[in-house]
Structure 1
Amino acid sequence: MCEEREEVVEDLVRRLGAEVGVELPPLRVTGAEPVLPSVFHVDTAAAVSVGAATAAAAGLGGGVGAEVDVREAAVAFLDERHFMIDGVRPAGWAALSGDYRTVDGWVRLHCNFDHHRDAALAALGLPTGADGEAVARACAGRTAFEVEEVVTAEGGCAAMMRSRAGWRAHPQRAAVARSPLVGLTRIGDGPVRAPGGRRDRPLDGVRVLDLTRVIAGPVATRTLAAHGARVLRVGAGHLPEVPGLVVGTAFGKRSCHLDLRTARGAAALRDLVAGAEVFVQSYRPGALEALGFGPEELAGIRPGIVCVDLSAYGAHGPWAGRRGFDSLVQMVCGIAHEGGGGAGPRPLPAQALDHATGYLAAFGAMAALTRRSREGGSWRVEVSLARTALWLDSLGRAEAENVTGKGPRVADLLSEMDSPFGRLTYVRAPGSVDGARPYWTSPPPGQGEHPPAWW
């Protein structure tokens, strides 16, 4: 990375700290661009989001400085592509997930969860078990907007490919633009309480509840675990998962199952909240509030808690409650359109919105813990994939020579670990604090392996 770009990253990280009211230790940026070939500055987004989280960790632990390498950060954005179990890469995409041509453009269907697949098929008038060719024919006879609307109304996940101008004219874009990249607000009183970690493990002993799925949220909590937090993932047997992603993002965590629809499950979660420092969730806006676990309720149970909310399109606007994933947000906000030159969708070279949002969420959580150590209080952090996309767009465009390339060297950034699933190959946690690298102390657990209790 040239000296000018290093200064850009360092300045962006400083600005992030200032926006959340935290003075971060100095960040040293190393490495060179381009790493991930794209018209967008994906490398910069990786270095800034990872660098901000690393600097926030350094500040919490009393460190004097943090470091981020651009290639390391960019490869961390590719970790699900390099994760292997006994040398085999788990399947990532379901058969019907993908881009489909329509009468007037393109639409993307996200069918990785069975109920989303079934909803898409029902919306398109197709029987259960229909194949990709049938879906392609059904989409080809409709407009992209029509497919997006009918699939969404049925409870599925679809996104029409919009241009940058088309997204700028959309009311949800206006709602997203009014939100900060990392929102941090005080939501209640609470005692002044410092995490109590050390420089090499600044979150040592910090208890984190993880109610997230599918990359962004799990990356946030996995990052907190790499800096020493005790992370307990709360899932449920009835909730669908993408098995490979669950394993690959669960390093350093424990896992329990609770059915929050039942009185017993809700009571168990309240008991866990009473001993937690951080609560991270990626349910659709309003879903946990309906179960009695909104930020204000959580702050009432545990004064001083930090609540981290991740969403696809933010908490406000006409799409606030809409289901969304990285690939869908790329379609609607103009990224896929611009990447393909308008001819057809071309996504970013990584699930960059997911990963950047995950690291920004971890940064927000640590910034809130920093504010709490000075001011007390209970805090809420808000991030969204759509707001991260807007930020990526604001970083400008890469030079023409950055758009093509073979991708980064990866082998020297991989490690291995034994687990109940087999021998795991994974991308190491990026960044360092005073020369000490973050790391995970345990392999991914089995889903629901542990009791709903702190340790």
Structure 2
Amino acid sequence: MFTGPESVLPGPFRVTEAAARAVAAATVEAAELLQLKGIDPGPVSVDRRHAAAAFRSERYVRLDGEPLPGLWDPLTGDYRAADGWVRLHCNYPHHAEAACRALGTKDLAAAVAKRGAEDVQEAVLAEGGAAAAMRGREEWLAHPQGQVLAESPLVAWDSLGPAPVTGLSTSERPLGGVRVLELTHVIAGPVAGRVLAAHGAEVLHVGAAHLPALPGLWADTGLGKRSAHVDLRTRAGRDTLWRLIGQADVFLQSYRPGALAGLGFTAERLAEARPGIVVAELNAYGWDGPWAGRRGFDSLVQLASGIAAEAAVDGPRPLPAQALDHGTGWLTAAAIMTALRRRALEGGSWRVRLSLARTGLWLDSLGREEGSAGELDVSGLLTRTGRTTHVRVPGELPGAPPCWASAAPEPGGDEARFGA
């Protein structure tokens, strides 16, 4: 099933292997759906180099041959504190403002240097920002949140109640006829939706004009989707979302726990409104424990969970890819396809939950390696869709080769409805 060298990325963690396994999980599930339709999927295989490139896809995307705005704001970074290191995530303006408020200055480096890392972390979080102090692996495993995660499954499953069997469409693509309503941001959730689109799902991404966005990421993760703006602060916006839920097969969301539920969009109410729906939810630190509601991003989880402390010399050592984001995204897509297959065989409404921190424990469980010292060779792995050059969909599925039919649309440029 796997081809290519076992390691093509630097660092002690087996990120190449994690990428290959996550891509394989989704591709195998797509093959299972084809078989259920009576279509021979052909031999599934995953090239490790291709999977690793997909885990760094935002690095290679180009628009008309030109690179897009970078992912990191100048204020985002690892800061030396009085007793260690802390990372501040300032890619969104409101997070940058929160960090400056918490520290009382825009000279973040000077302010952090005078305080303890945990103190900075908690002060920034209290202001509505995003931060994480670096701790070692053993510290994380002993931490209350690390202990909860160690007892949690990689993919948590819940039944949301009975519903009639919903058969698969006659489409020759694994997810043809499947409607996905995606309310996600940054990388993990959008990657999950992008994978579903690659296998034929109709994916409608719902955002809002007033919410911050990262254009460079959208060009990469918006491939194959449509995009509509809906303001959930208004009654009309919430009514629109309920209308879309009534037509959706999948509801995919990656907002901070409680954000959508606070507006009435709980998994249980979704299942009542749309029996047979598959609800997929992602977050940073897991769904139970003291940090369950804490906001976080891949780079923050790497520091908090001991990953960035592995082989650290003069400061945190990040993974060679946003592997927690991409890994969680691909595994979520696989879990959604499993739920859709179960729905076709036995009915029911289903919920799947994943988190970046739990994916981090899975990566940790794969062991260590010396890694590759060279730059990843992406020759032959790029293609062009419209004006966008990007990494091709990894994972060979001869019976229905995955692909994106369109480049990322203008954010909010489509109507809030299914059916192109």
TM-score normalised by the shorter chain: which range applies?
A: over 0.9
1:403-430 CA distance string (max 9 Å, x none): x411321021001122xxxx21100111
Task: Pick 1 or 2: higher relative contact order, CA cutoff 8 A, min separation 6.
Answer: 2
CA contact (8 A) 1:430 1:437 kept: no
The reply on whether 1:85 has 2:63 as its aligned counterpart is yes
Paired letter, 2:126 = A
Counterpart of 1:175 in 2: which secondary structure?
helix
Q: Report the Cα distance in structure 1 between the residues aligned to 2:9 and 2:165, rounded to whole angstroms.
A: 42
Q: Report the Cα distance in structure 1 between the residues aligned to 2:95 and 2:230, rounded to whole angstroms.
A: 22
Match of residue 21 from structure 1? none
Q: Report the Cα distance in structure 2 between the residues aligned to 1:298 and 1:137, rounded to whole angstroms.
A: 48
Per-residue deviation, 1:243: 1.3
Match of residue 404 from structure 2? 440
Per-residue deviation, 1:328: 0.2
Correspondent of 1:117 among 96, 105, 110:
96
The reply on whether 1:376 has 2:344 as its aligned counterpart is no
Paired letter, 1:183 = A
Counterpart of 1:233 in 2: which secondary structure?
strand
CA contact (8 A) 2:7 2:17 kept: no
Counterpart of 2:288 in 1: which secondary structure?
coil
The reply on whether 1:330 has 2:309 as its aligned counterpart is no
The reply on whether 1:48 has 2:21 as its aligned counterpart is yes
Q: Report the Cα distance in structure 2 between the residues aligned to 1:407 and 1:86, rounded to whole angstroms.
A: 24
Q: Report the Cα distance in structure 1 between the residues aligned to 2:249 and 2:349, rounded to whole angstroms.
A: 10
> How high is the sequence identity, in percent, across the aligned residues?
56
CA contact (8 A) 1:184 1:364 kept: no
CA contact (8 A) 1:194 1:369 kept: no
Q: Alignment RMSD, CA only? A: 1.2
Correspondent of 1:71 among 31, 46, 49:
49
CA contact (8 A) 1:331 1:337 kept: yes
1:181-212 CA distance string (max 9 Å, x none): 1122211111111332555x210110000100
The reply on whether 1:362 has 2:341 as its aligned counterpart is no
Q: Report the Cα distance in structure 2 between the residues aligned to 1:83 and 1:77, rounded to whole angstroms.
A: 12
Q: Report the Cα distance in structure 2 between the residues aligned to 1:159 and 1:409, rounded to whole angstroms.
A: 32
Correspondent of 2:378 among 410, 423, 439:
410
Aligned positions of 1:173-322 closer than 5 A:
173-196=146-169, 198=171, 201-322=173-294
Q: Report the Cα distance in structure 2 between the residues aligned to 1:106 and 1:33, rounded to whole angstroms.
A: 32
Q: Report the Cα distance in structure 1 between the residues aligned to 2:123 and 2:100, rounded to whole angstroms.
A: 10
Counterpart of 1:99 in 2: which secondary structure?
strand
Correspondent of 2:129 among 156, 170, 184:
156
Unaligned runs of 5+ in 1: 1-27
Task: Tell me the TM-score normalized by structure 1.
Answer: 0.89
Paired letter, 1:143 = G
CA contact (8 A) 1:196 1:204 kept: yes
Task: Tell me the TM-score normalized by structure 2.
Answer: 0.96
Runs of 4+ off more than 3 Å: none
Per-residue deviation, 1:394: 0.7
Per-residue deviation, 1:260: 1.1
Q: Report the Cα distance in structure 2 between the residues aligned to 1:407 and 1:223, rounded to whole angstroms.
A: 25
Paired letter, 1:388 = T
1:308-354 CA distance string (max 9 Å, x none): 0000011111111111000000001011000415x420100000000
Per-residue deviation, 1:66: 1.6
CA contact (8 A) 2:228 2:411 kept: yes
Aligned residues: 413
CA contact (8 A) 1:42 1:352 kept: yes
Paired letter, 1:194 = G
Paired letter, 1:295 = A
